[in-house]
Structure 1
Amino acid sequence: MSAPLRRVYGTAHDDPHPGPQDGHAYVELVGGPLDGELLDVTSWTESERETGAYLITEAGAYGPGGRASYGPRPSVPQIWDWEGDGP
């Protein structure tokens, strides 16, 4: 039995290929409204990767257009933990 396809943040829900692409770098989003999705950080600088991001989401506490804050886990920087929601 194969593992389910992991969805990449920002891909359309009807995208026939919403999963990771070869040659790209991803971090895993853990917790909050984007739990389990992958974020493509291929073109991000090391500084940007260390900072984290506010990602637009419709599923957060502020509804459509709200943001979810995710930042790298200190011990495992390839995993970004949810830090809370914002407008």
Structure 2
Amino acid sequence: MDEVEFMRGRVYGADHDNPGPRAGRVYAHLVGGPLDGLLLDVTDLTEQERARGVTLATEIGRYGPGGHSAYTPRPGDTRRFDWRGDVP
């Protein structure tokens, strides 16, 4: 199994023993960048927070350990968050 296949269907920040989505939660798909294909749990985000987007810690982005990747909702499809770039 390659890394892309392994990451598919996994939730960002989820426990490694239970990496998949949970019932009753709302998820957005991360599109592009180092976290491409992961799901993001947006259940507890307000509409305003979702509209602003998120900055997520990642060790596999441009800045390595300690770096972050920025994602914003896709216009017209808030179930997808598009990558906007990596930040330190």
**How many aligned positions are there?**
82
Alpha-carbon distance in structure 2 between the residues aligned to 1:24 and 1:69 = 22
What residue in structure 2 maps to residue 65 of structure 1?
66
5+ residue gaps, structure 2: 1-5
What residue in structure 2 maps to residue 31 of structure 1?
32
What residue in structure 1 maps to residue 22 of structure 2?
21
5+ residue gaps, structure 1: none
SS at match of 1:47: helix
Superposed CA RMSD in Å reads 1.3
Alpha-carbon distance in structure 2 between the residues aligned to 1:27 and 1:65 = 23
Alpha-carbon distance in structure 2 between the residues aligned to 1:20 and 1:70 = 19
SS at match of 2:86: strand
Q: Which runs of 4+ in 1 moved over 2 A?
A: none
When the two structures are superposed, what TM-score results if normalisation uses the length of structure 2? 0.88
Opposite residue 19 of structure 2, the aligned amino acid is P
Opposite residue 85 of structure 1, the aligned amino acid is D
Q: Which of residues 8, 13, 16 in structure 2 aligns to 1:10?
A: 13
Opposite residue 43 of structure 2, the aligned amino acid is T
Alpha-carbon distance in structure 2 between the residues aligned to 1:20 and 1:45 = 20
Alpha-carbon distance in structure 2 between the residues aligned to 1:20 and 1:77 = 18
